[in-house]
Amino acid sequence: MALLNPYISFRDTAREAMEFYRSVFGGELTVATFGEYEMPGIGEDERDKVMHAQLTTPSGFTLMAADTPAFMERTAGNTITVSLSGSEQDELRGYWERLADGGTVTLPLDQSPWGDSFGQLVDRFGIAWMVNIAGTAAPAQG
């Protein structure tokens, strides 16, 4: 079985972001630093930065991330959106609320034209999220 999961690039905040996502979704977080693997081109000031982090959750989500080293280009912007979907209303609403904490709701979680509850937000780390709850009518939330 193959997995499809988002891999997010940060600049110096990967550890903080992944710990936040663990607080939202639960699960096991593993973190490896550039220093642990003696990566070429990495300065002393970046040895503790995240080379690879992986969050594996009880719900079966896998989220990966890394800090982009200073010598590599990183283009900030709308380069990734993470989609959460399913029929577990309470679970998905909980994720929505925790992701929205400190973020910006761009489309409130509400009933969509296709009959599901759907919303979009940008979390406090600038990552765009979509939440779709199958077959539910949601009251407007912010």
Question: pLDDT digits over 54-106, tens only?
Answer: 999 999 999 999 898 888 887 766 557 798 989 999 999 999 999 999 999 99
Residue 139 has pLDDT above 60, yes or no: no
List alpha helices for 5-72, DSSP H. 14-25
**Residue 73 is encoded by which pair of tokens?**
């280009």
Enter the pTM of the model: 0.76
Domains along the chain with CATH numbers: 7-67 (3.10.180.10), 81-133 (3.10.180.10)
Give the sign of the dihedral formed by CA 101, CA 103, CA 109, CA 114: negative
Q: Is residue 107 scored above 70 in pLDDT?
A: yes
Residue 76's contacts (CB-CB under 8 Å, 6 or more residues apart) are: 11, 126
